[in-house]
Amino acid sequence: MKLKKTYMAAALSALLALPALAQVPAPAPKQSRPMLLKGATLHVGNGTVIENAAVGFDNGKITYAGPQNGANLSGYEVVDVTGQHIYPGLIHSNSTLGLNEVESVRATIDWREVGEFNPNVRSIIAYNTDSDIIPTVRTNGVLMTQLTPVGGTISGMSTVVQLDAWNWEDAVVKADEGIHLNWPNMLIETGNSSDEARLKTMAETRKQTLAELTALLRDAAVYKAGQHDSENLKLAAMAGLFDGSKKLYIHADYGKEIIESVNFARQHGVKDIVVVGAGDALAVADFLKANNIAVIYSGVHALPSRAEEDVDMPYKTPYLLHKAGIPFALDYNTSIHGIRNLPFIAGTAAAYGLDKEHALASVTLNAARILGVDKQVGSVEVGKDATLVVSAGDLLDMRTNNVTHAYIQGRNLDLSNKQKYLYEKFDNKYKAQEKSVEPTTSLQP
């Protein structure tokens, strides 16, 4: 009987400990009453900074954003954030967050489909809202992302989501907003081999891929025109490329590949093009500007691509893109775990010439414009979603970034996560050990 009681007590203790072990907080409830954040410095996201500001929101929408003395919103619950900073929620472009949980287990990798041409593949239906990584990303102020499939020549369709939802349907901000094309490499890596037959085979493979891509785009244009007898999911998915309702995201780095791919897409009637990666964007800046092409630049925290370039060239590239008049957003495409460092990518750009508010825009309003969601998010303006963060320090500075409040569509987020839990667990452990060690007295001569 005593053993049974002991077992029951242990089981009860385990159940009571479950909340402490929870690593993915439940999504926040819908905003139930109007809120007013007051006293902070407001970074609107469009270059404007307002000292001693206030931001009010109700039913998930921003109702006021301006000087504190101009806010006369009776009935609002006031949150005093004096001395802190209010920012738009950061937006990460070109991400596999929630599509790739454990890389060593094939069953948890949902960012790629088999085959080379998959324009009809929808990344959103594989999105895991219970990913352990999502809460760690939100803690640094990243509240939205673009779910992007990878692999093959045409990977599939991306979707913009907000990072607080019970399921993928609730997470959607803009579904199937673009198709991703991985442009075939012009430069062939030969390693130590000079086998002419091998190089010839690789060149022929590239030629064949381009021919298949040409045929697919032509067929899609015909399908879009209504000249078909049966439904074709691949061709139907591409129809939006020809009327501008979908973007074509071309993943390319080499300058000649960027020019070749953009010209190719234009020749086939594609209306809206974005270059992703864009390592050589500066080398073809005039071409990009002339063709009104936006860029998602992935290489801020990277080594230079050429030996003759300055070692800090990747850090300076955002400033030089801005100076050249190229619209751009920044991403952190090394790994899903690195997405939490998105604000610090912008901070690096600010440290190497880019104005800090323009650096902020590269991960907020500029990203929203490129992804086609700027009417909803990207800046703290009246009428937009109340998707914003409050930081005790500079959000773009690794040393002072300290998000104290975060809201998605007005919902107050729980900012706990696995990493915070583990930090507190072991911090308490070693503090307890320090207290248990009795101080020793030194012997006096």
Per-residue pLDDT, 61: 97
Q: Can you tell me the mean pLDDT for 35-42?
A: 96
Q: Can you tell me the mean pLDDT for 156-166?
A: 97
Are residues 104 and 54 located together in one domain of the fold?
no
In-domain check, residue 436: no
Number of compact structural domains in the chain: 2
In-domain check, residue 222: yes
Per-residue pLDDT, 1: 45
253-276 per-position pLDDT tens digit: 999 999 999 999 999 999 999 999
Per-residue pLDDT, 23: 66
State how far the Cα of 440 lies from the Cα of 437, in Å rounded to an integer: 9
Mean pLDDT of the chain: 89
Are residues 78 and 101 located together in one domain of the fold?
no
**In angstroms, how far is CA 121 from the centroid of its own chain?**
20
418-428 per-position pLDDT tens digit: 888 888 889 88
Query: Residue 110: which pLDDT band, with cuts at 50, 70 and 90?
Result: confident
Are residues 181 and 243 located together in one domain of the fold?
yes
294-340 per-position pLDDT tens digit: 999 998 998 888 888 899 999 999 999 999 999 999 998 757 778 99
Per-residue pLDDT, 13: 46
Closest to 178 measured CA to CA, from 237, 118, 257, 219: 237
pTM above 0.75, yes or no: yes
At residue 66, φ and ψ (nearest 5 deg) are 180, -160
Are residues 175 and 27 located together in one domain of the fold?
no
Are residues 206 and 329 located together in one domain of the fold?
yes
Are residues 264 and 208 located together in one domain of the fold?
yes
Are residues 202 and 53 located together in one domain of the fold?
no
Are residues 298 and 241 located together in one domain of the fold?
yes
Per-residue pLDDT, 192: 58
CA angle, 128 then 133 then 134, to 5°: 65
Per-residue pLDDT, 199: 78
Q: Domain of 59?
A: 23-89+379-419
CATH number at residue 350: 3.20.20.140
Final residue of a domain: which of 377, 401, 431? 377
In-domain check, residue 437: no
In-domain check, residue 329: yes
- Of 166-180, 191-205, 333-347, give the lowest mean pLDDT range: 191-205
Strands 61-67 and 49-58: antiparallel
Q: Can you tell me the mean pLDDT for 35-45?
A: 96
114-146 per-position pLDDT tens digit: 888 999 999 999 999 999 999 999 999 999 999
Are residues 406 and 370 located together in one domain of the fold?
no
CATH number at residue 84: 2.30.40.10
Q: Is the pLDDT at 6 greater than 60, yes or no?
A: no
- Of 18-22, 105-109, 178-182, 216-220, give the lowest mean pLDDT range: 18-22
Closest to 331 measured CA to CA, from 96, 162, 126, 35: 96
Are residues 323 and 372 located together in one domain of the fold?
yes
Q: Is the pLDDT at 444 greater than 60, yes or no?
A: no
Q: Can you tell me the mean pLDDT for 55-74?
A: 91
Per-residue pLDDT, 18: 42
| Residue 14 or 353, more confident | 353
| Residue 190 or 246, more confident | 246
Any residues with CB less than 8 A from the CB of 290 and at least 6 apart, and which? none
Per-residue pLDDT, 148: 94
Q: Is the pLDDT at 76 greater than 50, yes or no?
A: yes
Are residues 171 and 65 located together in one domain of the fold?
no
Are residues 68 and 96 located together in one domain of the fold?
no
In-domain check, residue 428: no
Distances in Å between the Cα of 408 and the Cα atoms of 28, 94, 144, 283, 438 are 9, 20, 9, 38, 49
Q: Is the pLDDT at 22 greater than 90, yes or no?
A: no
Per-residue pLDDT, 188: 66
Final residue of a domain: which of 377, 403, 432? 377
Q: Across the strands, what pairs with 255?
A: none
